[in-house]
Chains A and B, each alone.
Chain A
Amino acid sequence: MGKHVITLMVNGESHRLEIEPRAHLADVLRDELALTGTHIGCEHGVCGACTIRVDGAITRACLLLAVQAEGAVIETIEGLSDSGEIGDLQDAFRHRNALQCGYCTPAMLITAQDLLLHNPNPDRATIRDHISGNYCRCTGYQAIVDAVETVAKARQTAGERA
């Protein structure tokens, strides 16, 4: 039951890590790489707070063993913030107060971005459905739905102008 040496590609950086197979990716990101923007809320795949992007698809990091992620392209809130990819969503969340304690927020943003990449013009019910696996205990969700809807419209308008 020794440790495994794996290489993880996280936010464009390659990391060689020696880890136990039992370690899930959320723990490895947080403990080994100090990427603490990926939060842990339940560790049994329900709350969604650890949602990250693996090979472009949103994934619960607590349900993916880090050893399974070898060779995958991993993106966390830190990478998505630095690249600016979700800057408009982050702005909208801030201006709409779509976060209170902020613990669900990185995962909520990544999930919202996933929706907008697949469905640029979602209605409110679709937004609610897509984030329905992400617990937010503070906001009651409406402000989050508003913020995502605002960004969807803004991107549509920008797309039309371009």
Chain B
Amino acid sequence: MSGPLSPLDRPNSYIGRTVPRPNLERLVEGRGTYVSDMTLPRMGHVVFVRSPYAHARIVDIDTGAAKQGEGVIAVVTGAELVEQCSPWVGVLSHLKGLKSAPQHAMAVDRACWQGEAVCAVVANSRAQAEDAAELVQVQYQELEPVTDMRTALEPHIPVIHAELGDNLAFERSLDAGEVDKAFSEADAVAEAEFVFGRHTGVTLEARAVLADWNPGERRLTVYQGTQAPHMMQNIFAKHLALEEAQVRVVCKDVGGSFGIKVHVYADEMATAALSKRLKRPVKFVADRIESFVTDIHARDHICKGRIAVKQDGTITAFAIDDLTGIGPYSMYPRTSAIEANQVVNLVGGPYQARNYRARARVVFQNKNVMCQYRAVGHPIACSVTEGLVDLAARAIGMDPLEIRSRNLIKDDAYPTDSPSGLKFESLSHHASLAKLKQMMDYDGLRAEQKRLRRQGIYRGIGLASFIEVTNPSAAFYGVGGARISSQDGVSVRMDATGAIIVQTSLTEQGQGSEALTAQVVASALGVTLDKVRVILGDTDNTPYGGGTWASRGAGIGGEAAWQAGKALRMNILEVAGTILQTVPDMLDIDQGVVVDKGTTRERIGLDEVARIAYFRPDTLPADFQAELLATRHYVPRQYPFAFTNGIQASWLEVDTETGFITLLNHWCVEDCGTIINPQLVDEQIRGGVVQGLGAALFEHCRYDERGQLTNGTMADYLVPMASEMPDIEVGHVVSPTLESELGAKGAGEAGTAGAAACVANAVNDALEPFDVTITEIPLTPSLILNALGRRGG
């Protein structure tokens, strides 16, 4: 044996092994239980009457005809539902100056975006509720909408919430180092305005909630597709005037989340309030049209950026001015300031430059609410940073890979920090770059690019280095006053047959939470995977914890599972030691059997340990009590966040006559620390990349000047489909965090962080002979033809 064993070097460890996820069998057979599949006795279906206007006063609502509709159980206006549900304000105290207005479950006297619910119709079927909803007569007085974020702060523009004084929700400024000096001493300065299309998550199962207030038990059970059941438990209790103990949130199978399902949606709160009001189960499943106007949107940013560079390639400064429009309310409880805040935090993050100035302004507008969606803020920051780096390279005539190589933070420079104050424990930008260069055959592609250009074929290479915030500590939300737990808890117990039951506060929406928990616990204990069953997504039946978001599952919930598994192993070995009359330290567990430590000599099976502990405790010493359940919690303390890093590359072709882009290849090298299940990490990366590619090429919530969403159907809002997506090669560098024993840093969002940036860079690289720079996504054919000046006219 060579070298010391790490704590992870267990007999038959599942850490680092690809094994199929335990929950897939039922899903491939159509036996999943999504909220949209569920029915309960006496269940009503709610349909919301939604404002057709972006901004309108509600003059009158006549529900008389609707109440007579066939199958109608109740018709309830926003004003009436105030009795059951109190309003909220989406602010956090650590985001200084962030302000928002009280938001109700349904609009009370004023609708502030097209799609905001103003009245609810509950009926015996969805179709009946829709029929009756058409009979609700709402009299609106249309108000001037604020739609253009560029002018939202101008004095002649109406203020959406008069009591707030202006349309500015949040502003943050940062000035680090000597920015002016760096720009004045630069050999070249490049600047651009980066424009991002507002887009959304399009979970294939729309948001769904089934609320069941049982007056007999005085308990509210909410079946909900949510990423954070304990957060929702707190919020349902708080706004429906219940104790938390009266609320149970159950999260079964969820048809996609991506951050869309981690927020408090007004219509879901209304559904729970209606259940309480009507004393029966009420179900809401958004239809696709509702999804487009109510699921949070994201990434509606215009960001001006400047970069200063020396002739030798040294980047000396970044400066940005970011503007984002978030809709009429800051979303609850995570707020809509986090995205812009992250942009400020992250721009320039992979690079050594110490001079950095940033301003971000977050403004209200009469469009759907914006909030955190997969890789919050990162795609903006990455596109701005990497776009500027390419512009700097072009300004001094340097190869884009070379300029990155000269400026990325050195792999031996850690721990270090960024000008914005981010603390980096250990990143691997240069190892990642080297690996990428080899995987993609960078030099070979450059040669091919040159050769093809002579034939009039324009291909481009785009690179994007990135960092990704994961494993948030209490610094993210807790310190700001939100009851969103940054810790996770895991209980592991051995049943009377020696099988293992794990309860975790993580949730599963397909990322593999259940699999990673089972793999970690099986490894910590020394049992085979088939003996481990994982229970999650139920506030009554799991330890308290954060859930699954911000790439925190493996790093936080995984570590809690590891610690709980180790603790149970010790407990089991104590029982075994007592039975075998030896010290527990001399024993270990290997494939479900207690063995002499360091050997495979079998001493006693776990089934036998369990049998004795549960059924023949009389054979054990009188002062010995077997404890076959162990619970551990974990939260990172040393660093406010873990950071992962990596680099992506795109190889694509631009048809300069049509403006069409063909993605030919895509690479991602990432460093998420310890890899628990290589296949799951790779597939998180690929899925994340493709969501980023969607933003690059297709996805855009397009509003007109009256605040009407003009493409809110699946036919008009384009997401990536199989034919246009390339195969994606994934490579890894492994720098575990030393803060936990497991060392995992999370992998859920890295793909999304950098994908759009490298596609945009590749397009500009392809169009380099035309001296064209495009800094707007999505990269539509019209946009590209415009930039090329090729118009049919």
- Which residues of A line the B interface, CB within 8 A? 20, 22-23, 30, 35-44, 46-47, 49, 76-78, 81, 90, 93-97, 99-106, 109, 124-125, 127-129, 131-145
Contact = CB atoms under 8 A, between A and B. Distances in A.
Given A101-B255, A101-B256, A140-B687, A41 B27 contact: no
Chain A CB within 10 A, most for which of B202, B288, B510, B686: B510
A141 to B, nearest CB: 4
A46 B204 contact: no
22 contacts: A20-B127, A35-B30, A47-B204, A76-B30, A77-B29, A81-B29, A81-B30, A90-B25, A94-B21, A94-B25, A99-B27, A101-B203, A125-B723, A128-B725, A135-B719, A137-B719, A138-B256, A140-B688, A140-B728, A142-B725, A142-B728, A144-B722
Nearest to A37: B30
Interface stretch (B32-40, B318-326, B399-407, B702-710): B32-40
The interface centre, meaning the residue of A22, A76, A97, A129 with most chain B CB atoms within 10 A of its CB, is A97
A102 B691 contact: no
Nearest to B34: A103
A97 B204 CA distance: 18
Contact of B204 (A35, A49, A124, A127): A49
B302 interface: no
Contacts of B616: none
A102 B727 CA distance: 21
B230 to A, nearest CB: 21
B28 A99 contact: yes
Contact of B24 (A81, A93, A135): A93
A101 B205 contact: yes
Nearest to A139: B687
Given A90-B29, A103-B256, A137-B256, A44 B723 contact: no
A46 B686 contact: no
A102 B723 contact: no
B288 A42 contact: yes
Contact of A104 (B25, B204, B288, B679): B204
Contacts of B254: 101
A68 B780 CA distance: 40
Contacts of A125: 723
B204 A129 contact: no
How extensive is the interface on chain B, given as a class?
35 or more
Contacts of B32: 37, 102-103
Given A38-B30, A140-B689, A101 B680 contact: no
B723 A101 contact: no
A50 to B, nearest CB: 11
Contact of A100 (B20, B288, B687): B687
B541 interface: no
Interface string B1-29: 00000000000000000001100110111
Contacts of B725: 128, 140-142
B690 A39 contact: no
Contacts of A141: 690, 720-722, 725
B511 interface: yes
A131 B723 CA distance: 8
A105 to B, nearest CB: 6
B723 to A, nearest CB: 4
Nearest to A131: B722
A101 B287 CA distance: 19
Contacts of A124: 727
B20 A22 contact: no
Consensus secondary structure, chain B interface: loop
Contacts of B34: 36, 39, 103
Contacts of B723: 125, 128-129, 132
B721 to A, nearest CB: 5
Contacts of B713: 42, 44, 46
Contact of A143 (B29, B202, B683, B720): B683
A77 B20 contact: no
A135 to B, nearest CB: 6
B715 A46 contact: yes
Given A78-B29, A94-B20, A142-B725, A102 B255 contact: yes
Contacts of B201: 137
B583 interface: no
Contacts of A38: 30
Given A39-B205, A93-B24, A97-B680, A137 B29 contact: no
B768 to A, nearest CB: 28
B726 to A, nearest CB: 8
A104 B27 CA distance: 10
B783 interface: no
A40 to B, nearest CB: 7
A43 B288 contact: yes
B386 interface: no
Contact of A30 (B31, B37, B512, B680): B37
B753 to A, nearest CB: 15
Contacts of B28: 81, 90, 93-94, 99, 102, 105-106, 109
Q: Pick the 10 closest A-B CB pairs, nearest first.
A: A37-B30, A100-B510, A102-B27, A103-B255, A140-B690, A77-B30, A101-B510, A46-B714, A36-B37, A140-B686
Contacts of A101: 203-205, 253-257, 509-510
B288 A41 contact: yes
Interface string B675-706: 00001100100111111000000000000000
A96 B678 CA distance: 11
